Amino acid sequence: PDLNWENPKVRREIYDMILWWMEKGVGGFRLDVIDQIAKEPDRGITSNGPRLHEFLREMSRETFQKGDLITVGEAWGANTDNAKLYSNPDGSEFSMVFQFEHMVMDQQPGKEKWDLAPLPFVKMKQCMAKWQNELYGTGWNSLFMDNHDLPRIVSRWGDDRKYRKESAKMLATILHGMQGTPYIYQGEELGMTNVKFENITHYRDIETLNLYRERLEKGYSREEVMRSIYAKSRDNARTPMQWNAEENAGFTAGTPWIEVNSNYVEINAEEEIHDPDSVFSYYRILTHLRKKYPVFIDGRFRLLMEEDSQIFAYTRTSQNEEMLVCANFTGEPAHCPLIGEWKDAQILIHNYEGGLSEEMKPYEAMMLIRKR
């Protein structure tokens, strides 16, 4: 986005670079903050400029459409109308789009991400349902809750202590039952958590360091600032991948650029690969299910129990199958009458041992399927 896309010679250089990589055999491209390439500085337009889709279609014609690629554009400011253009099934722009409407809801309205607020759960459900329904047949969703810029989702919306495994599995169940392409960020499949460095000197993210300095200058207490950093710093997602219980989590024999999360002894890939009850094993099952059942691809989405403050439930319905995804989003028991209505359905996946009950346990989640 820092290049002058108005200059056709600049655009040609970009396309030639893309073609060079395509000739090397790459399978796809992620285009960073792509909604900011068509700026009009004199008018204060920095995103979604008037020539944005013109540029994207030209780039697609000159590059992506000449190969068999997956392309995804990152667009923080995308709405569903824009997303339909980005991910039009005709392939004129991208395969799909990263949008962030559901990921910016737990902050105070009109303020920065550091200004924490409880997640408006009902609104979040409605938001995700909107994207599922409005892109159905007209575009394609990218499914994610974690990435390199966001805090770890099990710490953000789950319980990374008492119910770490249960809540990590619950969040994955909700996301992977939806229509779209799931993105699994490194360590998400292990249930990796946020990090809490005691001193600001341990952090590396420039956004975090600037926030710390600026807010102290404005009179915020150190405790207030660190609370925001612990919740939202990008470094939460950038600590080294936790491969095993050896020094530096097996990431390197040298000195890592940022410290490893101290819980790597308990949470690491080597441990989880061999544990059938691990978060990793649960993700493997979810991935298998998505490949096996067509309803994951083409089933129509319908949000259920919309106003319920604990239950996230929806169905996916295709010509031959109907699937129920039901989850307790809280650390308290919750009542869900839907489970009784689906008592004869097949259990695809369940994050607790034992049978199903309308009285759901903390962070309990399941997928059920039946023939139509």
Which residues are designated catalytic?
A: 32, 74
Which residue in this structure is represented by tokens 């991935």? Answer: 287
Q: Rounded distance, CA 41 to CA 22, Å?
A: 33
- What does 44-102 look like in DSSP terms, one character per residue? TB-SS-TTHHHHHHHHHHHTGGGS--EEEEE-TT--HHHHHHHT-TT-SS-SEEE--GG
Instruction: Report d(CA 87, CA 78) in Å as an integer.
Output: 11
State how far the Cα of 324 lies from the Cα of 330, in Å rounded to an integer: 19
Q: Is 288 left (phi over 0), alpha (psi -120 to 50) or beta?
A: alpha
Q: Which residue has the tokens 């094993």?
A: 281
Tokens for 183, please give them.
């993105």
Q: Which residue in this structure is represented by tokens 């789950």? A: 158
Nearest to 230 by CA among 186, 271, 256, 199: 199
Burial category of 338 from C-beta neighbours within 10 Å (exposed 0-12, middle 13-18, buried 19 and up): middle
